[in-house]
A and B are shown apart, each in its own frame.
Chain A
Amino acid sequence: MGDKQGLSRRRFIQISAAGGGGLMLAFYVPGAADRLLDVSEPERRFNTFVTIATDGTVTVKIPVPEIGQGVRTSLAMLVAEELDVEWEHVGVTQADAADDLGPHPFAGGSRSVRAYWLPLREAGATARAALLGAAATRWDVLPDVLETRPGYVVDPRTRRRLAYGALVEEAAANPAPGNVSLKDPSEFRLIGTDRRHLDTPAIVRGNIQFGLDTVVPGMLRAVVARCPTYAGRVAAFRDSAALSVPGVQKVVKVDALGGTEDRPYSVEGVAVVADSTWAALQGRNALDISWDRGPNSDESTDRLHELCRDLVGRRAETFREAGELDKELASASRTVEAVYHAPFLVHAPLEPMNCIVHVRGDGCEIWAPTQVPIPIWRNAAALLDMAPEDVVVHVTRVGGGFGRRLSFEFVLEAIQVARQVDAPVQLVWTRQDDMRHGFMRPFSYHRLKAGLDGQNRITAWLHRQAGTSRYAFREGEEPGRSEFREGTYPAGLNPAYRLEYALAESNLPVGPLRAPGLNAFTFAAESFLDEVAEAAGRDPLELRLDLLSEDQTLPYGDEDVFETARLRRVIEIAAEASGWGTPLPEGRGRGIGAMSTFGSYAAQIAEVSVDDDSGAVTVHRVTCAIDCGRVVNPNGVRAQAEGGVIDGLGAALFGEVTVTNGAVDQSNYSDFAILRYHQSPEIDVHIIDSDAAPTGAGEPPYPPMFAALANAVHDAVGARVRRLPIRPERVLEALAEARTGPA
């Protein structure tokens, strides 16, 4: 379990996930002891997640990495609520990779609160019940007559009370209580209230430790030279110049690992190991490497544009359909058709990839800013041919995830270097490395076509997608499934629809980026809804509300459902709050985007102005409505909504990665820009008050933003931009087209 000291002397209640999604409460005594012996710290662990010290301070072990989504606070609130303690007495630690961390010990899918809502509340309730039991024994009463007040067990009849800290020893010596009951939401004191994030005071003092900040005694630093072309190889290299740079200690080869020769998971390279980061970088500059550019040296985004334009113009494989689409289209009074493009994107988190690996004779220790500690743990053990219990993976704070750190090729590189050096090694990717050698959000084209009847209602909806797919090389998976993640809205609300998918084959590495499978899809589908509204002479808001007017609960992807009422509601609330329908000055417009992501619902309305001489777009305000079920920390949800809006705007206005001769062209925030302070609009967030089961907020606000922006630009000046990013020159082109094109 990561803690090698005193474990055999501890007795603790274990809470873990059972197969089939239930919870299993296991009482585990490692060693023969029947009561607590010789515990080195004055505290007792009640289960994997909760430790209570004799002074009453509570420490919650957080099973999910903190990437800025606020889990170190929201998950601790779940425990603290049911345990019944003052929030000021709660602290957190970050869990190392382990087997007993519950149902979802990784950061992804906007799933942390959703998955841990019951397990962590049960952990807190179990600890509370154990304390009640201990007090009951001490007072010789039945536990049911006792109550708790934050931090205390009280006997309401006699007013006597005992602090939790005074009860911990006895509580830990008893069998684990079974069948604990959870609070009714009406009793919540913490859940649903605004809480500041626990680490903010440390952050503002510069005391917070990210991966890159971690220092291990004797640590060396390494950087890797990689072929600019993906999957290129080292043909030859000379290291004498590098080795003579002061501070450089060693130059070692790193092999390609995983995947295939043409599509390795981790690429080949040459690592320079030095006693400082700068020396390692200088050493790398001094390497003399000749590259074999490898199998992808002809690949380019130009080729993909041509290929996808072609694919999206021809019938493709049916992914999902209902009704008789072709017949409906043929008999429609009018049809509308448009083609959209969403480019490759990179995640570009501000902390670049890095980790520390220490390979010793008897084991391995890793410190990584990661979204996936357990896969790192298991893969490191396998790569090193060690037992999992001999490998420890510590999770540092993560300077931005966005899906990038679901991959851990940088750990495999670091392991290879660390095994060739007798010291801990911190492997660092520069910003340029990070932009060029990671994986990308897939490249796609979307052709949509709709049929309208005589009453200007949609009768048919075709969405054909052609692009690179995250599932292209996954055995047993349809490539369309990762890119048409759901497809239910808006297509599935029409009497006849068809989703088609054509794979554009490419070895370029693609993977998940914030709301994968929905971010590009929503740009196309929600932009097209507006184009249909325009053709039908209908208001885009009215059209959406009409489409969603019948209360339905539809299947949605693998495990979610789509409730029309909930999407309708966020659209209505955002529209009202944004002043939809009220007049705007010349050159200003509003646009809507809405989508359901991972069980939550978000709608945004962007208000922009467009300079029709330069094509520059200024975003004045975004109104966001989000329904994520019952909210744990409203402050945190607002932060995620603000962040998702800004992320979406930046990507919509600037985000594009191009590839030439198999190499990424962009290298820094100069040519792959993100939104800056002065470009950021006023953001007005409305959180729906809901008692539905909690769902996430990290990803849902992102997908709607692209279409909200494109639709607002169109509303402002009549320019329809169908190709992201929405650059000024594309706005001008669209304006020209609007003026000269067919009516």
Chain B
Amino acid sequence: MSINGNCKDYSELLDAYLDDELSADEQSRVELHVQSCRDCKNTLEETAALLQNLKSMPKKKSARQLDFGFLDNSVSPACNLESSSIDAYFDNELSDSERLAVQKHLDTCPDCTARLADINSLVFELKALPKLSLKADLIEKLDFTRQAETVSTEAANYKKGSQRHRTVWFGIGGAAAAAVAMFFMVQKGPQETPLVENFSVGKEIVKASKPANSERAEQSVGTDLPVGETAKDKVPAALLAEDNQKEKRIESAAVITSEKKNKNTIAESEVGTELALMPDSDDTAAEALGIGTDEDGLYDIKI
């Protein structure tokens, strides 16, 4: 912003001009200058807009009456500064003209000055909070040699047996394999109620969670499978249970069959641990009514 000698004189007058404190002669001189000087014109417009904003803001705490114009110096102006201005001023996030306006306001407003002091103390306390650090170097355990999906240490242990199945897909792949396992197990074993009609991961595991079948489901998990899957290496119940936390978050990276991700997650967290009844997950009835589930696995009922 280039300020020639003239502008320097005028910039002081601009404020007074807006405050209606100039003589008629001075006023017209300012107006004349502003017509030809873009910098001063901009400054004037910005300040005018800001003052207009200040004027139109609803009053906050102060009970004093607003008297725009700051002409009467015997009464301190009401504090109608936009509420976040003091914070932004403290944070040095205001434009030059805004900052000047707030500075000017602070000169006459004890409430805002007190607020500024409060902000100062509060931020000081926040900054004084100890900076916490990790006890161990978590990054050391991570393995970034793979190009695409990366792996975590625990997941790295599951790599054996399958190169194709990335470890981040472990849980879902494992669950899918478990479902396959159960499906085949049921077919081979004594004729009990078949778990599912259509092969679908979430539903299968959910149905397997009924108490009568729970034991069988648990047993079939982790045993040898007739299918060529390498699920055996991946499915040990204990590991699945341990890895619950990871799976739930890596769910987004998984390949899902027809089921939504969340049901999968909830389901696989149950496999291998106590298979609690989850009445809400049995959504065949819901689907029959045309009610689907939303992304959180909750019934998506449109009102």
**Chains A and B form a bound pair:** no
A residues with a Cβ closer than 8 A to B are none
